[in-house]
Amino acid sequence: MPEIRKLLDDIMARRNGTTEPELLGLMNDKKSKVGGGYLTDQGALFLVASDLGITLDYSNTQKLALKDLFVGANEVTVIGRILSIYPLKVYDKKNGSRGKLRRLWLFDGEERARVTLWDEKADLVESDSLEPDMAIRIKKGSVKAGLDGSPVLNVGSRGTVETIDYVEGGNLSTLSDVRLMPKDVTQLRKGLVIECIVRSQPKYSEFQRSDGTTGSLTQFMIGDPKTNTETRVVIWDYQGKDLMQIPVNSKMSLLNVKSKILPRGGIELHGDSGTNFKVIEVGRKINVDRGKEIKLTGKILTWGMPRTARSGVPSIQALMISTEYKLFNLILLGKAAERAPFLKPESMIELTGRQVEELKVICDNDLQIREAGELPSLGDVKISKIDQLDDETLPVFADVIALSSTSVTDITTKDGESVTRAEILVGDETGEIRVTAWREDIKLIEGIQPGQRLKLKGLQVRRGEDRVPALTTKAYSAVIWES
């Protein structure tokens, strides 16, 4: 790597009147505003020289560590392990032909480096069976500035990529050496390797960008193997399908994600099409014998609105916490639904029903429901503050005040169906949030006026394309108006 002294002398010799203090000031300015922590002094001076119309060409045939890569270096040789691999990208060249590129991230300890393989070199991922944690050597690469000013190692027709054996790569860190648990991430970081437990089934959705292109996001909750805390993961433009098939409770490693600090505190993990994963242990899938009789004892947290089932019989849904601290969605039909009004709010009950999902039970016999006797207290539900609403897997209970009157509109879905939607803005001392109800659930919030105090019970956090949290009602939700 060229010494700073040599670079400074070269620039001043070719740019009369430029002083060393001026160059050092420009160098530090580049490092703070463009480099984002990636530029070395030498790399920043290469960019300064370019701004001044000076081309510095220093070949470098020696082996460099990832941390020593700098913008402008040529004939570079590095070794490192693959952190993640991006999908193949095809593009149109200026001469009308088609080109290919593939991006990689390399790592060694805490150091990270971006690599772009061009044209035929992009096919090496398949032909050489490259995969994360594999040690490789890159020869005759050139380092250029990426869009954010950080160094990107480019490998073209003159460059080579080769795998190296265990002995030569033995001093390189492995994925196991750099992995973190979710609880260990407390600040902004990139290129993270996270070992975690999948806590919710990944959900995929698409949205339209402002330029008319379609984007996608895949989101799910992960847990720390050693704690009960959960962290939300959002992966943008993920192109694979394997992630969607990972069972809940599987142990896995997420490769190449970055942390984001939320405005209300806490950490969220974000990835992109270059986020890879490795399943360490497949979670045990819970097989539910549909229709199997199940006995539950617990506390009713909230009753939904009375409805009419498709079969024409009365129906009502409830959210119940069992004595095993599991949340069940109860569906009462027929005479069982007619019994619901006679059960005290937040009463302890014993119930026998048919299990249709792991946490969903149907009961249609009023003789199978009764108020329980002396049971250990299950405590009160947690009343959340608006700035704490983040988890999309748990029901929300909150005390709020209406900040707007209810607006009701008719919406036409993609399938051509016309449905009614009601919205209202509510808030507390920590923030504001939108509440949405659909179809017959609009009765829960219809007619609310500004200043009305409300108790929200059993609502769900949802995010739209703008990623802003909102609340939506469920069949077991309740909105209590306080006088």
Tell me which CATH homologous superfamily contains domain 179-281: Nucleic acid-binding proteins (2.40.50.140)
Q: What percent of the chain has pLDDT over 90?
A: 34
Look at residue 139 in the predicted model and tell me its pLDDT: 92
Is pLDDT of 205 > 60? yes
Q: What is the pTM for the complete model shown?
A: 0.56
Confidence of residue 252 (pLDDT cuts 50, 70, 90): very high
Confidence of residue 166 (pLDDT cuts 50, 70, 90): low
**Among the listed ranges 157-166, 248-257, 389-398, 419-428, which one has the minimum average pLDDT value?**
389-398
Look at residue 1 in the predicted model and tell me its pLDDT: 44
Look at residue 60 in the predicted model and tell me its pLDDT: 46
Residue spans per domain, the chain: 4-163, 179-281, 292-371, 386-482
Look at residue 30 in the predicted model and tell me its pLDDT: 82
CATH of 386-482, one of 2.40.50.70, 1.10.10.60, 3.40.50.300, 2.40.50.140: 2.40.50.140
Mean pLDDT comparison of 117-126, 203-212, 226-235, 245-254, highest-scoring range: 117-126
What CATH code is assigned to 292-371?
A: 2.40.50.140
> 4-163: which CATH topology?
OB fold (Dihydrolipoamide Acetyltransferase, E2P) (2.40.50)
CA pseudo-torsion sign 384, 387, 388, 393: positive
Alpha-carbon gap, residue 268 to 237, rounded angstroms: 17
pLDDT tens string 361-392: 998 887 677 776 555 454 566 788 888 787 66
Is pLDDT of 64 > 70? yes
CATH topology identical between 4-163 and 292-371:
yes
Mean pLDDT comparison of 41-45, 225-229, 285-289, highest-scoring range: 41-45
Higher pLDDT, 465 or 441: 441
Mean pLDDT value across residues 107-116: 92
Q: Which of 114, 128, 106 is nearest to 173 (CA)?
A: 106
